[in-house]
Amino acid sequence: MDNCSKQEILDRRYLDMARIWAQNSYCKRRKVGALLVKDKMIISDGYNGTPSGFPNVCEDENGITHPYVLHAEANAITKVAQSNNSSAGSTLYVTASPCMECSKLIIQAGITRVVFSEMYRLNDGLKLLESVGIETVWIPEENAGEHTAETSCASGCSCVSPSCAESKSSADNDASSLPFTPPVC
């Protein structure tokens, strides 16, 4: 087994663990999990939710996310900042690609690699990470035929669902406009 295969196996396992960690979220619309890994050790974890001391309610009565809800990446980064560990040179495993705000935190935290499984609705955060040389790796979750327009269609699926057809016609979700490529081993 070569190094690329070993790394991809580890990447998939850490992403699986991030998906399990996402289940801790009280958010109803979307549950996101994140793990920070350095030297094959998990140094921090996070999931999307409210700040300490707030009620564990992420959405209002209309299903709109409260503006104070923290993303999984932000929770993992702030948690490691309170510890004796350093995130410099670490890899962030997150179930959804980072937004622009989380990407800024990732850069400042010295994280050098981001591995994710679902495409966030915007890719400006990924473009920012790539612009400063942070490696981004997209490993789509393997759901035998079940997917959303944000995930599989960005990688060029051939389905015919209305949401996928709409995303295929959108330049924003065109795979050629994305700043990264899935790993090739």
* Structure tokens, 92: 């962030």
Query: At residue 125, what are phi and psi to the nearest 5 degrees?
Result: -65, -40
pLDDT over 90 (residue 176):
no
Give pLDDT tens digits for 96-118: 999 999 999 999 999 999 999 99
Q: Which two tokens stand for residue 100?
A: 């622009």
Query: Tens of pLDDT along 3-35?
Result: 668 999 999 999 999 999 999 999 999 999 999
Query: Which contiguous run of DSSP H or E holds residue 101?
Result: helix 100-108
36: nearest Cα among 97, 103, 115, 124: 115
| Residue among 56, 108, 29, 143 at smallest CA distance from 92 | 108
Q: State the pTM of this model.
A: 0.76
Which pLDDT band holds residue 2 (cuts at 50, 70, 90)?
A: low
Active site residues: 73
Question: pLDDT-based confidence at 121, cuts 50/70/90?
Answer: confident
Nearest to 43 by CA among 76, 8, 7: 76
Token duo for residue 144: 């035998």
